[in-house]
Structure 1
């Protein structure tokens, strides 16, 4: 009798593959549950009743190979697993579409909490909240301290001209989803282009580093950094700029964008930057540019979501309010550059 299973993962097919590739890993019938879906890569928990694992695969339907490359994601966590950077242990990569209908990988299940809102952090209290967020900075320093070549990631990206390429890429992304006037966004893009900072030596960058992309243990330490789909070799300060942007208080009631900055005890942007600078030894004097770039990038992402909403291509709550957020992000970006 075939059991009901989530879309995109047939437990019997997976069990057969694991029994062939990792004999003895699984000790009973598997059941699976989708824990994170959407346009991003799909994440499932899988259990045989005794042990648990996590499976990642691309979204259902047609996807761009470069946007959802399982091999890249698996490669970066496999390279980082022996380092000081906490990542789940990767157990298996399968590039054969015949098993689940798409490439996928299996990794260990890590216990921990992803904190997405200030309300979720509140029970920790101010001191523990502060320690948790500062731990986020320390782990970022650990990531950026890894020598890419020494862990087999020397060819993981093209660091030369990284910032210029990023700016062009997000500019093109904006052009692809324009159907209304957005005051200030072209100005923000142009000013960022005129003021490109000189990048420090390239490191592995996460690309979407924030509190709700890590799992925090009961001891308030980071147990695992997740969601490596944007990772590459590039300018480490782009990760810090994004972290600084997410540490700003957004006075937006009912915002669908998660921010934990309003939690009591949450360190402010200056403290995060100073801690990163002290621990990494990097010059962070151009952090205003990187933070403004993060505001720009998020404005473009949100405008893309708004654009698809206006075309009737998104389903779910909160999408009707996304369009109102975009001008706020543009304004923050411009203000950050002026003040920097």
Structure 2
């Protein structure tokens, strides 16, 4: 671990305080180890060995964060509520609001083992029938989330589904504004204003209501190790709420390139470019299956795809601010200086029917 890595790790976790807290709630353990998981670009993930248990601690990044971002206790609340449903989620262990432990809210869950597809296709799934099943599993699991009776599982007050879509546009506009307070001194992104105006003028009326994940994409889902591919667990629920399910579908589509797309680069990382290979469903096929699974008609597709890319740009700009302020340890954050303007241009192309 380099000096910089060690310094950042010390900002993330007071090892002695965490050990004391876990001992109070879980009992003593002969083995205790903590390691930072470098994957992901939002909340921080720590892998913890506690005796014979493998645990995960989720906490926000250090430093100032945008209002409502990085709400790890929101993740805990929804995963706790989904434990007995058909939605596959990790087993929750405990949540902590005492900032004397790590200086922030955090929660603990059991660690899952399986395959997360981020940069490469697993060899065991590299045949057309498995590739198609991966897409089907993604859509079927999303449909399972959207079919949850959120009142019966105790999530009736988890959000305000009325006017959710309008509030999404308003919220992400504010996130850009928060980031621009710092990043505008480095460079400006004029296309964002044009996309914002279009989204504000085209918010759909009366969309359906459902529990939404908020960040549903391939690398936030874990599959079992062996074929056929089956979703084992869904992670990263920090953006979850009650709202418009089509926002989830638009988000998934923004990370799922078709074979003839001119670029696979999106958002805070590259999308899973391997889904262009023979056998993976196209975006249109994903939409068709979603409509079949849920009974919902995916209308206003251009709006939801534009909104997804707009949100990706906002996240990237927030990451760029954190980089400039020294509140991040992620090699992708400085790349947002050039990637966010490209995302804004991509959103404009969707608005204009060119992408």
Task: Tell me the TM-score normalised to structure 1 length.
Answer: 0.86
Report the counterpart of residue 280 of structure 2 in structure 1: 266
Q: Distance in 2 between matches of 1:68 and 1:319?
A: 16
The 1:243/1:101 distance shift into structure 2, 3 A limit, reads same
- In 1, the alpha carbon distance for the partners of 2:18 and 2:325 equals 37
Instruction: Choose 73-82 or 248-257, whichever is displaced more.
Output: 248-257
**Structure 1 residues 69-78 or 261-270, which shifts more?**
261-270
Q: CA RMSD in A?
A: 3.0
1:25-174 aligned at under 5 Å gives the runs: 27-36=29-38, 40-63=42-65, 66-117=68-119, 119-121=120-122, 124-125=125-126, 126-174=128-176
Contact 2:264–2:273 (8 Å) recurs in 1:
no
Pairing of 1:1-340 with structure 2 (within 5 A): 6-7=9-10, 8-23=12-27, 27-36=29-38, 40-63=42-65, 66-117=68-119, 119-121=120-122, 124-125=125-126, 126-176=128-178, 177=180, 179=184, 180-219=187-226, 220-248=229-257, 251-252=262-263, 257-263=269-275, 264=277, 265-306=279-320, 317-339=331-353
Superposed CA deviations along residues 71-126 of structure 1, whole A, max 9, x for unmatched, are 32211100011100110111112222233333322111110222112x34566213
Equivalent position SS for 2:270: coil
| SS of equivalent to 1:32 | strand
- Mean Cα deviation higher: 121-130 or 53-62: 121-130
Distance 1:200 1:332 in 2: 25
Which has the higher mean CA deviation after the structures are superposed, 234-243 or 71-80? Answer: 71-80
2-structure distance, mates of 1:46, 1:148: 31
Bigger relative CO (Cα 8 Å, ≥ 6 apart): 2
SS at match of 2:281: coil
Structure 1: gaps spanning 5 or more residues: none
How far apart are 1:62 and its partner, in Å? 4.8
SS at match of 1:129: helix
Pairs aligned (count): 334
- Separation in 1, partners of 2:264, 2:300: 31
Q: Residues of 2 paired with 1:299 and 1:56: CA distance?
A: 24
